[in-house]
């Protein structure tokens, strides 16, 4: 198959980082994440020539599925969800090594069959292979899968060898500090930390990765990246959608667990971390953990550092939508928050006195994920607003979705015979500069796991530190029930209590 022309900015870049012969085993192979993200990710890596020549995909699940049927399911998933259309030659190469093993996640005999299946693959190609296990199942079976991988001997394959076994674990990684500690304990009984890849797909997004590049490769930013020049940082992760058919799951999760504790805290860590000593996975993860440990405990009392709310009926895209309590699967007295806002204080030299404001919610005005760095205003000696000048604080924003890129707000003179000013936005967008067919986050993360690069994955102590911060909040909200739970109209930017969180310090939410 002829290769499509690459964008001129991408010419000459390496396309292969040396993955060894690999078997990827997906637990939960018939699930939604596998169809929507994982199989398309594998396929697109194949199209880009980033899979090793000896690559095998094995589905594992409770439901017995013949190999041919699983291959058909995979092909259908690519046709429906891949960012590229299905090319017969590319699919044929992956399909030839695709198979399925059925069994229960708590069934040791099924894992023995899986081990035999992998041994047959090695015998067929007469080479050793590394095995990458992707656990894409409900959290309730994380521990049984891990235990059985150890019991059947798969976890320890080639442990001191380049082909050692790796395991990717999907979120949610625990529900609170105790459950995260218990899960880490179960993992460490079977795997060593360097084998474990706790995934957060936000870290695979181009703009999130670009955050480190912008900070540490541009001399104009890093000298200003501190309390002397920055007044506040705002991180917004907003969704237009409601809970849909996931009401049962969301009732057990809520916004704080679903978005703030994981995705949003990863953005905090990358924004606030100190420069690492090298672009090494452990050096970067060390600095992220240091930032999380420097965050002060949250004041959960009214008027403190946290706010929560539920959406009520409103309008989205000109159409009426129900409130949270009217959604399918939601209890009429539910106290589950669909919106959460947090004010963080980082107790270190760089960020002392700079508030980090986080908010996330469902049924908000529009879908957007953004990091906004708000710089301090210059002294009003020359261009004071009292003199009629229209001035805005300089703001550097990283837009993570839906239109990945970054922008900088500057003040400029309006052309004319009088000196008048107006804020303008300088923007860069990935789609316009590099082309619109940007790789999906899961493509980058699956590839990194295959080659053993843990930079964009969460270390065990990092997950525990984040849960340590938020578990007291969850406990306080559980005790309070609906007391203190505010409301906001679907289609708005959130509740009044979220605005008050900022206004007490003279700040307002930026509307992305």
- Name the DSSP class of 259: I
Sign of CA dihedral 42, 45, 49, 52: negative
Q: Is 87 a catalytic residue?
A: no
How is residue 153 written in tokens? 């001997």
| 385 — pLDDT class (breaks 50, 70, 90) | low
The pLDDT, as a whole number, for residue 433 is 82
The pLDDT, as a whole number, for residue 4 is 43
Q: Answer for the pair 59, 99: CB distance below 8 angstroms, yes or no.
A: yes
Distance, C-alpha 150 to centroid of its chain: 28
pLDDT per residue as tens digits for the range 442-488: 999 999 999 999 999 999 999 999 999 999 999 999 999 999 999 99
| Phi, psi torsion values for 477, nearest 5 degrees | -65, -35
Q: Judge if pTM exceeds 0.85.
A: yes
All residues at 6 or more sequence positions from 73 whose CB lies less than 8 Å from its CB, including other chains: 30, 35, 65
The pLDDT, as a whole number, for residue 112 is 97
Please compute the mean of the pLDDT values over residues 65-93 and round it to a whole number.
95
Nearest residue to 239 via CA among 370, 363, 372, 322: 363
Mean pLDDT across the chain: 91
Rounded CA gap, 407 and 395, in Å?
8
Radius of gyration of the chain measured on its C-alpha atoms: 24
Domains, in order of start, for the chain: 12-170 (3.40.50.720), 203-503 (3.30.360.10)
| 7 — pLDDT class (breaks 50, 70, 90) | very low
How is residue 74 written in tokens? 């995979």
Distance, C-alpha 186 to centroid of its chain: 24
Which range among 26-30, 398-402, 413-417 has the greatest average pLDDT?
Answer: 26-30
| 356 — pLDDT class (breaks 50, 70, 90) | very high
All residues at 6 or more sequence positions from 3 whose CB lies less than 8 Å from its CB, including other chains: none
Rounded CA gap, 383 and 388, in Å?
8
> Could you say which of 16, 194, 201, 263 is catalytic?
263
Residue 32 burial (C-beta neighbours within 10 Å; 0-12, 13-18, 19+): exposed
The pLDDT, as a whole number, for residue 415 is 87
Rounded CA gap, 235 and 237, in Å?
7
152-156, long-range: CB within 8 Å, 24+ apart, which pairs? 152/108, 152/111, 152/112, 152/114, 152/115, 153/115, 154/111, 154/114, 154/115, 154/118, 155/190, 155/191, 155/195
């Amino acid at each position: 198959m002829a290769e499509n022309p690459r964008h001129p900015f991408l010419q000459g870049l390496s396309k292969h980082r040396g993955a060894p012969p690999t078997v990827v085993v997906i637990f939960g192979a018939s699930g939604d994440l596998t169809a929507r993200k994982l199989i398309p990710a594998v396929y697109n890596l194949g199209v880009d020539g980033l899979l090793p020549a000896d690559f095998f995909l094995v589905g594992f699940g409770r439901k017995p599925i013949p190999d041919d049927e699983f291959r058909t399911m995979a092909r259908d998933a690519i046709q429906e969800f891949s960012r590229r259309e299905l090319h017969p030659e590319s699919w044929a190469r992956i399909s030839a090594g695709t198979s399925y093993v059925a069994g229960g996640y708590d069934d040791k005999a099924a894992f023995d069959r899986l081990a035999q299946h992998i041994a047959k693959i090695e015998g067929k190609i007469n080479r050793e292979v590394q095995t990458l296990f992707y656990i894409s199942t409900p959290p309730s079976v994380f521990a049984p899968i891990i235990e059985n991988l150890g019991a059947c001997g798969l976890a320890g394959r080639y442990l001191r060898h380049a082909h050692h076994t790796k395991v990717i674990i999907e979120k949610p990684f625990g529900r609170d500090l105790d459950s995260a500690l218990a899960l880490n304990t179960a993992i460490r009984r079977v795997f060593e930390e360097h084998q474990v890849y706790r995934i957060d797909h936000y870290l695979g997004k181009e703009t999130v990765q670009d955050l480190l590049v912008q900070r540490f490769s541009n001399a104009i930013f890093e000298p200003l990246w501190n309390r002397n020049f920055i007044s506040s940082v705002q991180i917004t992760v907003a969704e237009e959608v409601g809970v849909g058919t996931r009401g049962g799951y969301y009732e057990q999760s809520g916004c704080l667990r679903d978005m703030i504790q994981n995705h949003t805290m990863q953005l905090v860590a990358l924004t606030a971390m100190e420069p690492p000593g090298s672009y090494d996975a452990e050096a970067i993860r060390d600095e992220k953990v240091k930032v999380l440990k420097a965050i002060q405990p949250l004041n959960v009392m009214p008027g403190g550092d946290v706010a929560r709310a539920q959406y009520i009926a409103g309008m989205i895209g000109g159409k009426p939508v129900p409130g949270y309590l009217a959604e399918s699967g939601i209890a009429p007295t539910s106290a589950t928050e669909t919106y959460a806002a947090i004010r963080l204080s980082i107790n270190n030299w760089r960020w002392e006195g700079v508030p980090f404001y986080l908010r996330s919610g469902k049924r908000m005005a529009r879908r957007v994920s953004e990091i906004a760095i708000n710089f301090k205003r210059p002294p009003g000696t020359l261009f004071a607003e009292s003199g009629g000048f229209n001035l805005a604080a300089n703001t550097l924003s990283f837009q993570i979705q839906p239109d990945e890129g970054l922008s900088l707000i500057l003040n400029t003179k309006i052309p004319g015979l009088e000196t008048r000013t107006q804020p303008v936005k300088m923007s860069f967008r990935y789609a316009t500069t590099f082309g619109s067919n940007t790789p999906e986050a899961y493509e980058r993360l699956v590839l990194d796991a295959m080659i053993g690069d843990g930079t964009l994955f969460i270390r065990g102590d990092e997950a525990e530190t984040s849960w340590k911060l938020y578990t007291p909040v969850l406990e306080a909200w559980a005790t309070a029930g609906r007391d203190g739970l505010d409301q906001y109209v679907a289609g708005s930017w959130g509740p009044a209590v979220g605005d008050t969180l900022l206004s007490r310090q003279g700040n307002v939410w930026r509307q992305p």
